[in-house]
Amino acid sequence: GRNILTGLPLEAAIDYREIAMCIDKTVVKIEGEILKVLQRTPPELYSNIVKNGVWLAGGGSLLRGIAKRFGDKVNIPFHVAEDPLKAVARGTCLALSGIDRYPFLMR
């Protein structure tokens, strides 16, 4: 960031626990939404989720310990996608290249 007095670039070391404390309320909300979705999930799909786990993608999935925290909360394994920053774009590209097989994506 910048030093507000001098305007010069400033580098500061921040412990991951400080970041965790700042985002904890948001993570708790996400956990609540995960629980709501799982409660509404049909049994046949739920058993598949329990067996295979949930895959996280995007920058948030790179938060230290987030997959373990979610997994511990709902007792389902959570995994981080390979190259999570590009996973959604790659998946979208695959879906669009096979749009004839996935017409429900265009609703």
**85-106 tens-digit pLDDT:** 999 999 889 888 888 887 887 7
For residues 51-74, average pLDDT: 96
Strand partners, 2: 9
Residue 30, Cα to own-chain centre: how many angstroms?
9
* Tally of domains in the chain: 1
Q: What is the CATH number of the domain that holds 58?
A: 3.30.420.40
Whole-number Å distance between alpha carbons of 101 and 55: 22
Domain span including residue 23: 16-106
Mean pLDDT of the chain: 93
The whole-number pLDDT of residue 101 equals 86
Residue 6 lies in a domain: no
In a domain, 85, yes or no: yes
Residue 80 burial (CB count, 10 A): 16
Q: What is the pTM of this model?
A: 0.77
The answer to the question of residue 2 being in a domain is: no
3-state SS, one letter per residue, for 41-61: CCHHHHHHHHHHCEEECCHHH
- In sequence order, which ranges of the chain are alpha helices (DSSP H)? 16-40, 43-52, 66-74, 84-97
Q: Averaged over 7-30, what is the pLDDT?
A: 92
